[in-house]
């Protein structure tokens, strides 16, 4: 079963993404805490794309697709046309360094990495594609 949502690159649309995901996951009878973690991970990716890849330009769009490949495996696909992210170059920052630097960012991808079972970034024609896979825990 596939579901999709297209939103413009505005930070206030993050709540719409969460509502969209919440409804789908609830419909699949996924436990609340399990669903919450998946929603958080997708929110983190979308926030990064809106802010860093598309500079909050409301004329740019992000598409979110949810696909239950099996009853216990869900894939979230997030597509945009902004600046692509080189995940291979990403190095997880040390929490001690983040604290001492007093910077407000840097932990979003850590959450995504710890929540999702598989994270893939790719490009196809003009699209950047982020694919997040989670094996559903009951």
Contacts for 29 with CB less than 8 Å, ≥ 6 apart: none
**30 to 69, contacts with other proteins by CB under 8 A?**
32-33, 36-37, 40, 43-44, 47, 50-51
Is the CB of 74 or the CB of 116 nearer to other proteins?
Answer: 116
Interface with other proteins (CB under 8 A), residue total: 30
Q: Considering the rule CB under 8 A, would residue 119 count as an interface residue with other proteins?
A: no
Q: Considering the rule CB under 8 A, would residue 95 count as an interface residue with other proteins?
A: yes
Is the CB of 15 or the CB of 57 nearer to other proteins?
Answer: 15
Are the C-beta atoms of 121 and 87 separated by less than 8 Å? yes
In the structure encoding, which two tokens stand for residue 136, read together?
């559903």
In the structure encoding, which two tokens stand for residue 46, read together?
């979308």
Is the CB of 52 or the CB of 118 nearer to other proteins?
Answer: 52
Q: Considering the rule CB under 8 A, would residue 102 count as an interface residue with other proteins?
A: yes
Are the C-beta atoms of 65 and 35 separated by less than 8 Å? no
Rounded Cα gap, residues 57 and 70, in angstroms: 35
């Amino acid at each position: 079963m596939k579901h999709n949502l297209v939103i413009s690159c505005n930070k206030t649309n993050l709540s719409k993404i969460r509502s969209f995901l919440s409804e789908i996951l609830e419909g699949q009878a996924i436990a609340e805490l399990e669903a919450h973690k998946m929603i958080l991970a997708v929110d983190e990716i979308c926030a990064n794309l809106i802010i860093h890849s598309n500079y909050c330009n409301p004329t740019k769009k992000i598409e979110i697709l949810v696909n239950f490949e099996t009853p216990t495996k869900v894939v979230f696909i997030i597509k945009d046309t902004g600046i692509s992210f080189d995940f291979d170059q990403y190095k997880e920052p040390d929490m001690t360094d983040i604290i001492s630097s007093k910077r407000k960012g840097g932990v979003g991808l850590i959450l995504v990495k710890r929540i999702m079972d598989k994270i893939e970034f790719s490009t196809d024609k003009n699209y950047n594609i982020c694919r997040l896979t989670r094996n559903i825990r009951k």
